[in-house]
Amino acid sequence: IVSRSKNVDDAVDFLASSKFSLLILVVTGYNILFLLAKILQIAFLGKLRDREEKKVLHRLRMFVIFKIGFIACVLQDRTIIQDTDQKEILVWTAWFSVLGVLKVIGLLCRDRLDFMSFSPATRWPDYARVLSLLFLVLAFTALWSVFCFVLFGDTGMNVLLLLNFECFIISLECLQTLMKSLLHFYDLYKSGLWEARSTWTFFVDLFLEGVGLLC
């Protein structure tokens, strides 16, 4: 990937100039990313349940395994990227690391909302905190996508699509969670039993997951 900004490109070249500086950069970056994710979790979700922790670890493992293979395939495709070096690996890894954290947090919000929808002790402030975090994930994903077009706009459509594909999937997952939450809130406020809720939920899942599969 060739950056549009010369300053950014020079900074990446300098940081990737030696293995030691590259190691420090990677460790520092992942520590900051983990710290930010932990702060968001504590502020909006509190302590995770055992089942949520297991799901988070499983999703992180699957994302890392899949993206390692994906990045390796992309970097070997000389029709997309030329002169693969440490800088290219660094940029791709950093990009998908941020998206991986956003994806896991978004799915964690879905798990928490599903749990809360079956808990009679759930209060409205609890819903508000989780939904606020979900909107934050959605907003940051949109900004990350805009950042891609601004910084890598001259690299070609193939690279832009590769970088933005995961942003699109994360947005779809957040929208799916929001729509299911709206159906739940409507069911809470509706007088009597709403028998059509399961049908609406099924079609929301079918439509949004179908869009994700088609992409």
- Amino acid making up residue 78: R
pLDDT tens-digit series, residues 84-99: 556 677 777 888 899 9
Query: What is the C-alpha separation between 65 and 108, in angstroms, rounded?
Result: 19
The one-letter code for the residue type at 120 is P
Model pTM? 0.83
Q: Which of 56-60, 168-172, 192-196, 206-210 has the lowest mean pLDDT?
A: 192-196
**Which residues 6+ apart lie within 8 Å of 34 measured at CB?**
none
Residue 190 — pLDDT band, cuts 50, 70, 90?
Answer: confident
